Amino acid sequence: MRGFRAARKEPGWLAISLRENRLSYVHGRPSADGKAAITRIGSAELEAKPHAAEKFAKEMGFGRCQCATLLTPGEYQLLMVEAPAVPAAELKSAVRWRVKDLIDYPVDAATIDVLDIPAEPGAAARAHSMFAVSARNEIVRARMNAFEEARIPLSVIDIPETAQRNLAGLRESDGRGVALLYFNHEFGLLTITAHGELYFSRRIDIGLPQILGAAPGARTELFNRIVLELQRTFDHFDRQFGFVQVARLVIGPEPEETGLHAHLKGNLDLPVERLDLLECLDFGRDATPDANAQWQLFHLIGASLRQEQKAS
């Protein structure tokens, strides 16, 4: 979903979260050697005064950047639908009618965008699936208004799943798929990607505070639930996308050690590894995040790695 366009100035993307009196930002840019760079990253508490965000953005030079932001999970729905057999120019209109019975508000009040799921290479032409992203118009407009008031040139409104897709791409190799699992405050987000494309996404109803707050025995039970959810998901994915071989499960950053990595490594049949952002990305001298910042800003980092040719 796209907001208004601004002339491109600095290379790369500045991903911004603007929430009440807090502004977080990550600026990523491509690199000639193929290793993306994070040149700026941070969070700031804004004064409870009018134009505080505008003042901060001006001081930071955000107006020189191509900017993106993310919807939060409760602000949109990501739906898998059958791709309509229509010309590209008519695709969004056709998908709009496909999702009208899947959302709990009038379709005329929805902003709809689409994300294709590539079909099996070389397969005969047949129906395939795609993702539809639906959000209420009022939510999209409110987000755009907040950036307009702060005089931040918003170009794109993205979602966590596509941001996580970008991060999973850092661990892809040999054309095989990567499953990436990240836990936020409320739930775990599992994505499966291949060739830089998002094939599958689901949420696991366990949040990181629930894991951290659990006693050892209860934590093991939570981990066993996660293992079961993952096994069921991989079995389902293999039936649906048998042409995509998942090579590894990658665990996203944690603010502190939970033991999840070791548990999954000992209970799953595929390789399990951590996503080391400091190894995969080139952080500048003044832009190296600690473990907590990597966890808190994980999806902003992913959004800053956006590639313009991807439709999301």
pLDDT tens sequence across 202-212? 999 999 999 99
What would the DSSP string read from start to end of the chain? -B-------SSSEEEEEEETTEEEEEEEE--TTS--EEEEEEEEEPPSSTTHHHHHHHHHTGGGS-EEEE--GGG-EEEEEEPPSS-GGGHHHHHHHHHTTTSSS-GGGEEEEEEE-PPPTTPPS---EEEEEEEEHHHHHHHHHHHHHTT--EEEEE-HHHHHHHHHGGG--TT-EEEEEEE-SS-EEEEEEETTEEEEEEEES--HHHHHTS-HHHHHHHHHHHHHHHHHHHHHHHHH-TTS-EEEEEEPP-SS--SHHHHHHHH-SS-EEE--HHHHSEE-TT----HHHHHHTHHHHHHHT--TTS--
What is the set of domains in the chain, with CATH numbers?
74-137 (no CATH), 171-275 (3.30.420.40)
pLDDT tens sequence across 149-170? 999 999 999 999 999 999 999 9
Strand duo 188-194 + 197-204: pairing: antiparallel
pLDDT band at 227 (very low <50, low <70, confident <90, very high): very high
The pLDDT of residue 7? 53
Average the pLDDT over 28-34 and give the result.
Answer: 78
Question: How far apart are alpha carbons 202 and 150 in whole angstroms?
Answer: 34
Least confident window among 18-32, 56-70, 116-130: 116-130
pLDDT band at 311 (very low <50, low <70, confident <90, very high): very low
pLDDT band at 2 (very low <50, low <70, confident <90, very high): low
pLDDT band at 148 (very low <50, low <70, confident <90, very high): very high
Reference 108, options 84, 134, 129, 127; nearest CA is 134
User: Phi and psi (nearest 5°) for 80?
Assistant: -95, 125
What's the pTM value of the predicted model, to 2 decimals? 0.93
Average the pLDDT over 225-247 and give the result.
Answer: 96
Share of the chain above pLDDT 90, in %: 81
The pLDDT of residue 6? 43
pLDDT band at 119 (very low <50, low <70, confident <90, very high): confident
Average the pLDDT over 42-63 and give the result.
Answer: 94
Looking at the DSSP bridge assignments, the partners of residue 148 are: none
Average the pLDDT over 272-277 and give the result.
Answer: 97
Cβ neighbours of residue 1 closer than 8 Å, sequence gap 6 or more = 111, 113, 133, 135, 140, 156, 157, 158
pLDDT tens sequence across 72-105? 999 999 999 999 988 888 898 999 999 999 999 9
Average the pLDDT over 173-184 and give the result.
Answer: 93
Question: How far apart are alpha carbons 288 and 285 in whole angstroms?
Answer: 7
Q: Which residue has the higher pLDDT, 45 or 50?
A: 45
Residue 54 pLDDT > 60, yes or no?
yes
Average pLDDT, the chain: 92
Residue with tokens 């032409």, as numbered in its chain: 125
The pLDDT of residue 32? 64
Q: Which residue has the higher pLDDT, 33 or 11?
A: 11
The pLDDT of residue 8? 53
